[in-house]
Amino acid sequence: MTNIKVSKNQNGLRGCVEIPADKSISHRAVMFSSLAKGKSLIKNFSSGADPHSTLEVFSRLGIRHEFLDEKTLEIFSDGKLQLPLQALDCGNSGTTMRLMTGILAGQNFDCTLIGDTSLSKRPMKRVIEPVSLMGGCVEAVDGHAPLKIFGRELNGIDYVSKIASAQVKSCVLLAGLFADGITSVTEPYVSRNHTELMLKYLGADLTVEGKKVSVKRSGLTAKEIDICGDISSAAFFIVAGLIVPNSDIILKNVGLNPTRTGILDVVRAMGGDIEILDARESAGEPVGDLRVKYSDLRACQICGEIIPRLIDELPVIAVLASQAAGQTVVKDAGDLRNKESDRISALVCELKKIGIDIEETSDGFIVNGKAKITGGAEVETYHDHRLAMSLYVAGLVAEKEILVKDFEWVDISFPEFLGLFASL
């Protein structure tokens, strides 16, 4: 177990970092290329453990891949999956387990999905329910993994999801690729749309009308996919740049898909100095470089439609709010309790230990900004990569050194994290 010490940054962060590959897009690149007929080329694949869990799952389903270098791989598929000999291990990855449920429900074999302790506590009913309505058969242990999936003929549905979740939406759409008729999903607010963009790019028969996405049984074509940088990883640098005095940094190759850029809206509402440079497109996704400078910040309200557009950034946004004048209120984010940890109670408990004025609510938290971060404490990471990285960022402005326990959890999404911070 790696405990790390973080102390106050005295000089400011300066320089330029290249943001590593998007985790959500990396998962989808492997999944959809494995379903596509032919040889796919994936460039700038994530080195995070989660996307590698997805890759391993497909190896066990008979799909061969070959790395040309650390971040470039080819996937060879005839579009068919084979009966796996063992349970498929999704590790810590909710995206792997929930999207695979959709892919596997319509196959002509049975198999089992398993995960680590944290993943085995996360709710799976949200995907089991729509898949069952499509005629699928998934057995769980009180709504949790292990999930035993019995391959069945599926029929399309018109599913109205109660939650805005890209994992639920993607699960249903992927099952829809193997179902008779039309499969539609409507969500209360639009969640990240990487599945829609990539399926379309690979030739699926898919349409989007507002909050409703529909797909018909489709074969996919193997293509080249170049993955952009992850705005959820960039978020730690954005916040650090804004709150560490005297900072001026450039973050290169950040994915700027509007379904993910809620953090930029929040930063602007707080008066943060952030600029998009060289806006461009890469594999159908908007991309740009960001310039972030230390800023005088004010509190803001975060609720409603914006929540799915910044759901993974909320832990580090709490740290940002601690340095903004006034009271920041986050509401409508109850699903944060179902992430890699209960991110509301874990975050509030650990940030309090280092002196941040934060209160838990049922569906979010309230931060009273500009209280000094005293630091001088040991903090826990709850097997949660984003909590670990958020605590690190808080440590950069704490009066006394903090010790972040079990920091190795960052490897789930962002093994380059410490090296990139050290380079600034």
- Which chain residues interact with ligand S3P by CB under 6 A? 24, 27, 95, 165-167, 170, 191-192, 311-312, 335
- Indicate the residue among 191 and 328 with the shorter CB distance to ligand S3P: 191
- Indicate the residue among 335 and 384 with the shorter CB distance to ligand S3P: 335
Distance CA 135, CA 360 (A): 40
CB of 237 to ligand S3P, least distance (A): 18
Residues annotated catalytic, as ranges: 312
Nearest to 293 by CA among 20, 14, 19: 14
Those residues whose C-beta lies under 8 Å from the C-beta of residue 130, and which sit 6 or more positions away, are: 157, 159, 161, 168, 171, 172, 175, 185
- Indicate the residue among 192 and 223 with the shorter CB distance to ligand S3P: 192
Q: Give the C-alpha distances (Å, rounded to integers) separating 408 from 5, 24, 53, 93, 331.
A: 13, 20, 16, 16, 30
3-state helix, strand, coil in the chain (%, to 5): 35, 30, 35
CB of 131 to ligand S3P, least distance (A): 15
Nearest to 257 by CA among 293, 277, 229, 238: 229
Is-contact 306 329, C-beta < 8 A? Answer: no
CB of 311 to ligand S3P, least distance (A): 5
Place of tokens 């018909």: 216
- Indicate the residue among 173 and 373 with the shorter CB distance to ligand S3P: 173
CB of 115 to ligand S3P, least distance (A): 14
For residue 143, give the DSSP letter.
Answer: T
- Indicate the residue among 397 and 412 with the shorter CB distance to ligand S3P: 412
CB of 406 to ligand S3P, least distance (A): 19
Nearest to 92 by CA among 61, 31, 48, 142: 48
Distance CA 35, CA 177 (A): 10
